Structure 1
Amino acid sequence: MELTDKVALVTGGSRGIGAATAKKLATHGARVAVTYQENRSSAEATVEAIRRSGGTATALQTSAENRASVDTMMDRVVSAFGRIDILVNNAGIFTAKPLSEVGFDLYTRQFNANVWGMIQITQAALPHFPASGGRIINIASARMYAPRDGTGLYAASKAAVSVLTHALAIELGPRSITVNAVAPAVTETDMTAKMPPEKKASFAKATPLGRIGLPEDIADVIAFLASDEARWVNGRTIRADGGLS
């Protein structure tokens, strides 16, 4: 895969799948901007790892739910790199609660972070895509196919991401921008660090490959979708779950 001189913006790039994706895209030659909301030290560690490997990267703070913050961040990306070729909408939050504990505040927080944030980032990025087109990759979740254990609200927000992915692929196709999503199953990140070991073990046992996912497993799929090799893949949500489903 050849991404030399492409400019990639990876939201939530300070940890987990986002950090692995930023590093993978840089390995293939992309210049990478990673965003973070609070974890500056981790974002800077991602950038430093890319730079040590000979790549180009920068870390920018933003709140995806705040349009003024998004616009400021986007201006800084364009000032540093001139344009955006690849957008990875990875930033999001995960909360599991049974129906009896779901209130409006939790609903708003979950959908603002996972859906509205993705919409705002995409809106702000689109004017900076070149006439030749580009790639948008959104992060959904395999949970939207199996919303159990109190994950219904989270799964619904990620199902919205998948539907919007399809809709945006239709809308942006005339601009030669492809829009796809990746739906990981349980992946070894700090989001799952608090999961009881026995539950992780049960997911691993239920997966034909005998383990849960690693951030690098998902990053490789994202890198493919960002490349020219995926030029004919559009509007799809790809399950990256090791066969769990």
Structure 2
Amino acid sequence: MASLIDKVAVVVGGARGIGAGVSRRMVADGASVAIIYLSRANEAEALASELRAHGGTVLLIQADASDPVALNAAMDKAFAEFGRLDILVSVAGTAIVGPLDAYADDAFDRTFAINVRAPFLAAKKAAAMMTAGGRIITIGSIVADRMPGAGGTLYAASKSALGGMTRGLARDLGERGITANLVQPGPIDTERNPATGPNAEASRSPLAIRRHGTPAEVAALVAYLASPDAAFVTGSTYNIDGGWSA
């Protein structure tokens, strides 16, 4: 498509899974990309090498997005490198699951630090760097709308918070021509939820399209929301879930 030529994207959690799919699509559409990642530096370097081999301009930044100081510093580093920021995609997240009485006392804080506070602080920081036409896109989860079983109370609560955050951002930033939208995937074939894993069939059972989605399919939706074609789309939630929510 090459619809993002001369644009700069920051992908928080952009080195693996859905995040890697988004990073690949941003580069394919012409953007320069700063990838913020937590660990497994060899995998991040391999992805960067792959993207650069395809002509992409890529900056790797290792930082813990759950740490506000580290996240802000990483965003500053991306801006210093590229001189602008047009697109923010927040993907990084965690899933602490299990019986309600088994949650550790700090499970709430750890879950919300990465799943809610990090995308909020990244959006706040990005908004200060963006001009008209900026795009803020957050990756949530379909469990915000429908919890299929026990054990996911904190995860569902954290992902539900992103809808309100997105609508608030849309109102706060609309006059500046900056959009904010939320993407809620269902089961996606990643390391966390592999299509051939022991829980795969159970994950697919609520679906109308009985297969796992792919990171590339999620990235295609993100690419639309990042594109000029989506300039009038803001404050919206997009489910990409194979019919989970139907």
Question: Following the alignment from structure 1 to structure 2, what is the Cα–Cα distance between the partners of residues 65 and 208?
Answer: 35
**Cα deviations by residue, 1:164-191 (Å, 9 ceiling, x for unpaired):** 0111111110111100000001111112
| Distance of aligned partners of 1:104 and 1:194 in 2 relative to their CA distance in 1, 3 Å threshold | farther
Question: Following the alignment from structure 1 to structure 2, what is the Cα–Cα distance between the partners of residues 42 and 186?
Answer: 23
Higher alpha-carbon deviation: 57-66 or 11-20: 57-66
After TM superposition, list the pairs within 5 Å mapping 1:25-44 onto structure 2. Answer: 25-44=26-45
After TM superposition, list the pairs within 5 Å mapping 1:1-245 onto structure 2. Answer: 1=1, 2-130=3-131, 132-147=132-147, 148-193=149-194, 196-197=197-198, 199-245=199-245
For the Cα contact (< 8 Å) 2:194–2:200, is it kept in 1?
no
Question: Following the alignment from structure 1 to structure 2, what is the Cα–Cα distance between the partners of residues 41 and 196?
Answer: 24
For the Cα contact (< 8 Å) 1:95–1:154, is it kept in 2?
yes
Offset at 1:193?
A: 4.1
Offset at 1:33?
A: 0.5
**Cα deviations by residue, 1:111-151 (Å, 9 ceiling, x for unpaired):** 11101111121222222112x23100001100112222311
| Distance of aligned partners of 1:237 and 1:20 in 2 relative to their CA distance in 1, 3 Å threshold | same
For the Cα contact (< 8 Å) 1:65–1:120, is it kept in 2?
no
Question: Following the alignment from structure 2 to structure 1, what is the Cα–Cα distance between the partners of residues 196 and 96?
Answer: 12
Higher alpha-carbon deviation: 186-195 or 140-149: 186-195
Offset at 1:76?
A: 1.4
Question: Following the alignment from structure 1 to structure 2, what is the Cα–Cα distance between the partners of residues 113 and 205?
Answer: 28
For the Cα contact (< 8 Å) 1:180–1:225, is it kept in 2?
yes
Question: Percent identical across equivalent pairs?
Answer: 37
Q: SS at the partner of 2:106?
A: helix
Question: Following the alignment from structure 1 to structure 2, what is the Cα–Cα distance between the partners of residues 240 and 39?
Answer: 28
For the Cα contact (< 8 Å) 1:94–1:191, is it kept in 2?
no
For the Cα contact (< 8 Å) 1:136–1:180, is it kept in 2?
yes
What TM-score does the superposition give when structure 1 sets the normalisation length? 0.94
For the Cα contact (< 8 Å) 1:96–1:150, is it kept in 2?
yes
Residue-pair matches, total: 243
Unaligned 5+ runs, structure 2: none
- For 2:243, the aligned partner's letter is G
- For 1:139, the aligned partner's letter is I
Offset at 1:205?
A: 4.6
For the Cα contact (< 8 Å) 2:179–2:235, is it kept in 1?
yes
CA RMSD across the alignment: 1.6
Question: Following the alignment from structure 2 to structure 1, what is the Cα–Cα distance between the partners of residues 167 and 72?
Answer: 25
Question: Following the alignment from structure 2 to structure 1, what is the Cα–Cα distance between the partners of residues 26 and 117?
Answer: 25
| Distance of aligned partners of 1:194 and 1:55 in 2 relative to their CA distance in 1, 3 Å threshold | closer
**Cα deviations by residue, 1:84-134 (Å, 9 ceiling, x for unpaired):** 10000111111211211123311110011101111121222222112x231
What TM-score does the superposition give when structure 2 sets the normalisation length? 0.94
| Distance of aligned partners of 1:86 and 1:74 in 2 relative to their CA distance in 1, 3 Å threshold | same
Question: Following the alignment from structure 2 to structure 1, what is the Cα–Cα distance between the partners of residues 56 and 66?
Answer: 29
Q: SS at the partner of 2:88?
A: strand
